Structures are given as structure tokens and as C-alpha cells.
Amino acid sequence: MSKVESGLKEHKNIVELFLEYFEMVPATTDTLKYEAYGLRYQVYCLETRFLNPNDFPDGLEKDEYDHSAEHFLIRHRKTGAYAATARLILPNPNCPGWVFPIERLSRLECLELLHKVPRNRLAEASRFCVSRDFKRRRGEAGTTTGLESQSLRDILAASLDERRVLPHITVALIACVVRMSAHHGITHWYGFMETSLIRLFRSLGMCWTVLGPVTDFHGARQPCIIEISEYLDRVKQRNSQLWDMLTDFGRFWRDDVQAVTGNQASEGKSAAA
């Protein structure tokens, strides 16, 4: 069991506790999208040097897929600083030749498996990133949020409960993607990830199916796919607190997506008949 799962099991009200200090914000306006792009620039260009900052002179890391994606942010309530972001690239049924980034950048070999997944129920989860400031432990110096250098660190160091919820930001990002998927009836996620991130997700019960060999794209990455229902069912069996956080106590996925997939199954039976 991972440390995050242990924390969720030990502290029964961790979901409410997390939401006391952070909120999940859908980036539905240009202003909020720019906040997501700016945070991505901070993390990918300045903190990790995953991307060249010179390629983004406006300080906004964005690409051609952002127009086909939905975005979420995690906001720290006390400071208003954005701690993390993620996006979900949605299918484009109006463009027959359109492909996901994973399909363009890697070699997919499990074609039989992919053919079983309806194209309009498949989306690619990407751009998971957490600001370095919200990964810091007590006593570590420096910030890159634009806040006063000591303010955010002092706030996070002041409360044991607040520090305790910091490791759950990654879980909250997955919860954001679950919400976006429920809204659009998405049943499967593509992921094109570093092997270390695949291991991290596995510790949270997210067992991706590998679709092809490792590809060198800003580091070793591997194409994967996962069925969301299977993932969430596995989580619920292992840790109900984690499932509560991912689904907002069942408000998402159970009511929305399973109804969608149920309708889809009925349509499939009718077509077969």
C-alpha cells in the first residue's frame, strides 16, 4: 500500500480536509486556461527543463491539442496560488484523420485491444504537473509562484493538517480527470508517460496496459491505456477513502459514466440484433 493510500486510510476525513485547503477548478475561461498554461510553463520549462523555455516567449506552455482538450486546476485557497493542473484531450469525431499525440509520437502494437475501444469513448490524459512549491517539505527554501518568497512556505509550514494533504494533490488531479471523463462519457484513457510516472500511478491502483515499446521523447516514455471503470472498481476494493476522493463520494462516474456506458451497451445489442 502506498503512502498516499495509507494516509487516506488513516485519516477518515482526508477528502474534506483536502477540500478545506484546496479546490478543484475547471478551466472553462480563457483566463483560467492561461493560468494552466502558465503553470505548465513554470513546471515543464523552468523547474524540470522538460521543454525549452525559449520556445514559449509568452511564458505560456501550450500546443495544438489544447483546443481539443479540457483543463482543470488545483487552487490553494489561502493564497489563491495554483498548485497543479492536468488536461484531457478529447476525441474529435468531426475530423476523421485526427490522431491523439500518443498515436503520433509512439508505436502502438496492441491493435486488437484498441479496436475494441470505441473511438468516441477514448481520451488522452496528459500534462499532469504539480508546482514545486507544493511538493516541498517543511524548511525547504525558495518558491517560483511569484508570491513573496516566505509567504507560501510559512503558510504550508504552519499547519500540520495542511502539510498532510500535500501528497494528495496527485490524487486530486486524477479526480479532476475522472470528472472531465464523466462529463464527456469517456471510458478509457490513453497515457504516454515516463516509466517513473507509470510506477507512481501503479502505487495508486492504476494499472496501465502497455501498448508498445518505450519511446525516447523527452526521456523514456511508454504508450499505455486503461479502462476507467476497472481502475475505479479496483480502487474501491482496496481503499474506499481513495475512491471517495476520486469520484467525490460516487457523485461522478457512478451516476454519469456508467449510465452512458449502459446506454452504449444497449445500443450495441440493438445493432447486433
Domains of the chain, earliest start first = 3-272 (3.40.630.30)
Q: Is the pLDDT of residue 56 over 90?
A: yes
- For 20, the grid coordinates are 478545506
Q: What proportion of the chain, given as a percentage, has pLDDT over 70?
A: 79
Phi, psi angles (nearest 5°) of residue 190: -80, 150
> pLDDT-derived band of residue 164, with 50, 70 and 90 as boundaries?
confident
- With H, G, I as helix, E, B as strand and everything else as coil, classify residue 231: helix
The pairing of beta strand 215-216 with beta strand 209-210: unpaired
Q: Using a cut of 0.85, tell me whether the model's pTM lies above it.
A: no
Q: Is the pLDDT of residue 139 over 50?
A: no
- For 221, the grid coordinates are 516514455
**Cα angle 24-125-42, degrees, rounded to a multiple of 5:** 65
Count how many residues are written for the chain. Answer: 273
Average pLDDT over residues 176-182: 97
The answer to whether the Cα torsion of 96, 98, 104, 108 is positive or negative is negative
Q: Cα separation of 267 and 249, whole Å? A: 29
Q: Cα separation of 186 and 70, whole Å? A: 12
- With H, G, I as helix, E, B as strand and everything else as coil, classify residue 96: coil
